[in-house]
Amino acid sequence: MGAAIGDILPLALGVALSPVPIIAVILMLGTPQAKSRGSAFALGWVLGLVIVNVIVVLAASGSDDPDSGASIGVDILKIVLGALFLVMAAGQWRKRPKPGEEPVMPTWMAAIDGFGMPASLGLGALLSGLNPKNLALTLAAAAGIAQAGLSGGPTTIAITVFVVIGSVTVAGPVLFYVFAASKAAGPLASIKGFMSDHNAVIMMVVLLILGAKMLGQGIGGLTT
């Protein structure tokens, strides 16, 4: 189990360091009904990660046998995802704002003020479970957990570790606001500004490191 958790930690950090959901949850915490909307968004985020992990782990059962078709399939998936991450890293580099330019954020962020709890819950689930970058990271983590051949208990622990680490930057601001609303505005605004300004660079570095890692793991698995 320790090896499996060690393998998924960088992937969980990659999910946690996604600037867009961090900015989104901080924007929600600046709206009316901030606590309920922020909590709904964080819950949706957690559910998205859990659902994708469980589905992939179940689908990839049997991949712990290195000679099985499932194991070979997981290694091929790692190579594909690693190559995808490298391509996405190059895309982030090309899209980075030039000096003096304002970073471009998704247009849906302008509508966050009007989100109710169901929309906030759904947005959290979509950003964690179906956002291409996070989906790819979660697929890689869940496939790695399945390939480790763990029993039910350790598998649950590994998924929990991934979800907790992957959710800390989304749930953390919500908890900070819930327990210290009067002190939260300044620090959260600073975090939002930093993430907005450095979104492309953060994502490029994360994707470059994880892409190289996944590509190496996949090639290593197929050649051993």
User: What's the confidence (pLDDT) of residue 70?
Assistant: 63
User: What's the confidence (pLDDT) of residue 162?
Assistant: 96
Using pLDDT thresholds of 50, 70 and 90, give the confidence band for residue 179. very high
With residue 206 as reference, give the H or E element that holds it: helix 199-223
Query: For the residues 88-108, what does the mean pLDDT come to?
Result: 80
In angstroms, the CA 153 to CA 158 distance is: 9
Whether the pLDDT of residue 64 is over 70: the answer is no
Radius of gyration of the chain (CA): 18
| Cα-based torsion angle of the residue sequence 209, 5, 23, 78 in order, rounded to the nearest 10 degrees | 50
Query: For the residues 186-197, what does the mean pLDDT come to?
Result: 88
User: With pLDDT > 70 as the criterion, what percentage of the chain qualifies?
Assistant: 95
Q: Please give the tally of structural domains in the chain.
A: 1
User: What's the confidence (pLDDT) of residue 23?
Assistant: 92
Whether the pLDDT of residue 65 is over 60: the answer is no
Using pLDDT thresholds of 50, 70 and 90, give the confidence band for residue 184. confident
Mean pLDDT of the chain: 87
Within 13 Å, how many C-alpha atoms sit on residue 157's CB side?
Answer: 12
* Residue 9 structural domain: 2-223
User: What's the confidence (pLDDT) of residue 40?
Assistant: 96
In angstroms, the CA 189 to CA 193 distance is: 6
Its pTM stands at 0.85
Using pLDDT thresholds of 50, 70 and 90, give the confidence band for residue 67. low
Whether the pLDDT of residue 101 is over 80: the answer is no
What is the tens place of the pLDDT at every residue in 27-51?
A: 999 888 899 999 999 999 999 999 9
Whether the pLDDT of residue 63 is over 60: the answer is no
User: What's the confidence (pLDDT) of residue 58?
Assistant: 86
User: What's the confidence (pLDDT) of residue 106?
Assistant: 78
CA 44: distance to chain centroid? 13
In angstroms, the CA 154 to CA 25 distance is: 31
